[in-house]
Amino acid sequence: MAQSHKAPSGSLSRMVERVLLASPRGYCAGVERAVETVELALEHYGAPVYVRKQIVHNIHVVRDLEARGAIFVDEETEVPEGATVVYSAHGVAPTVFENSARLGHNVIDAVCPLVTKVHVQARRYAEEGYTVVLIGHEGHEEVVGTMGEAPDATVLVQTVAEAEALDLPADTRLAYVTQTTLSVDETGEIITTLRRRFPEIRAPRKEDICYATSNRQWAVKEMLPEIDLLLVIGSRNSSNSNRLVETARAAGTNAYLIDDETEIDEAWLDGATTVGITSGASAPEKLVTRVCDWFRTRGVTSIEPYRLVEEDVTFRLPVELRRELELAARS
């Protein structure tokens, strides 16, 4: 973890003159839905409400919900019989639902609808006799959940090299799906390789990388010619936040991932006139405000958005919770 080197107020004014804020940034619709789900479940059922895995990959969000009475567990089997459990935005394998049913859990599934779409695609391809190539990162919760839909029919590919080395019988019927939070460019290269090697491979009707991941990478690319350094606000286990860092570095711009302002190393700012700030899809906007305040207290007065792009995507609450709240409102 980077150490903060606090300097006297105004000491950055000779270096950093301007801070630009990428747009869009921060919370996506799936994250907003998942966090609100836990908050409303706590209000409706009372504490404790159990959450399988981190509801979203941000340590600040997790700590805030813990303070309100949420209990985070690694596996559903750790949740007491009959208790309320919320599944994270990253999705789960069918076996998780089976375990919760056996334990009599009150399940609220906060999986992002865009992840659900990938699950449905993978399951349908497998049922139709295809071998499913899942493009994603091994061990990521979303990948674990998707592979669980058809474990015997799914092959994980993480890189172009793995796509080149994929060895399957000549008569194998192939289809591919992808994790929703990948690098747009890197995923495109993997898909190009798969299509060259397996011309008949079946593709999703619509790309699986979610709108928020694509939009935030696009926003960083647009801003790069104007900045000397990029700070990405997000936790280490946030896939989409890491991809934003990689996007900047691939273009030759120094970039660092920080959980909050306490992790800024002032040595990074040497020679930087303009600093860009963005945040991953699971990072709340209050963290951006705190980073901006960090620069203000050090004499930087020009802090402004770089273009302004708004997203209007929204998702309804999980049906299980929505039904309960509607019944409560009528009583």
* CATH number where 74 lies: 3.40.50.11270
Measure the CA–CA gap between 13 and 25, rounded to whole angstroms.
26
Q: Is residue 46 part of a domain?
A: yes
- Give pLDDT, residue 2: 42
Type of residue found at 268? W
Cα 280–Cα 132–Cα 147 angle in degrees, nearest 5: 55
| One domain for residues 97 and 133 | no
pLDDT string in tens for the chain (331-residue length): 444 444 444 555 458 999 999 999 999 999 999 999 999 999 999 999 999 999 999 999 999 999 999 999 999 999 999 999 999 999 999 999 999 999 999 999 999 999 999 999 999 999 999 999 999 999 999 999 999 999 999 999 999 999 999 999 989 999 999 999 999 999 999 999 999 999 999 999 888 999 999 999 999 999 999 999 999 999 999 999 999 999 999 999 999 999 999 999 999 999 999 999 999 999 999 999 999 999 999 999 999 999 888 899 999 999 999 999 999 999 8
| One domain for residues 88 and 141 | no
Q: Is residue 162 part of a domain?
A: yes
- Give pLDDT, residue 34: 98
Beta bridge partners of 305: 21
| One domain for residues 100 and 172 | no
| One domain for residues 295 and 219 | yes
| One domain for residues 35 and 73 | yes
- Give pLDDT, residue 217: 96
Domain count, the chain: 3
The residues that are catalytic are 142
Q: Is residue 50 part of a domain?
A: yes
Q: Is residue 322 part of a domain?
A: no
| One domain for residues 263 and 286 | yes
Q: Which of 96, 95, 94 is nearest to 51 (CA)?
A: 96
| One domain for residues 86 and 40 | yes
Q: Is residue 260 part of a domain?
A: yes
- Give pLDDT, residue 205: 87
Q: Is residue 6 part of a domain?
A: no
CATH number of the domain where residue 216 is located: 3.40.1010.20
Distances (CA, A) of 122 to 118, 135, 166: 6, 12, 18
Measure the CA–CA gap between 271 and 230, rounded to whole angstroms.
13
Q: Is residue 218 part of a domain?
A: yes
Structural domain ending residue among the three candidates 77, 111, 145: 111
- Give pLDDT, residue 8: 43
The beta-strand segments (E) located in the chain are 18-21, 49-52, 70-73, 84-87, 106-109, 131-135, 154-157, 174-178, 229-233, 254-258, 274-279, 302-305
- Give pLDDT, residue 310: 87
* Model pTM score: 0.92
Q: Are strands 49-52 and 70-73 parallel, antiparallel or unpaired?
A: parallel
- Give pLDDT, residue 17: 95
| One domain for residues 138 and 85 | no
| One domain for residues 219 and 299 | yes
Structural domain ending residue among the three candidates 197, 226, 246: 197
26 C-beta neighbours (distance < 10 Å), count = 25
- Give pLDDT, residue 193: 98
| One domain for residues 79 and 127 | no
Structural domain that includes position 65 = 30-111
| One domain for residues 130 and 85 | no
Q: Is residue 317 part of a domain?
A: no
- Give pLDDT, residue 307: 86
| One domain for residues 100 and 152 | no
Structural domain ending residue among the three candidates 92, 111, 130: 111
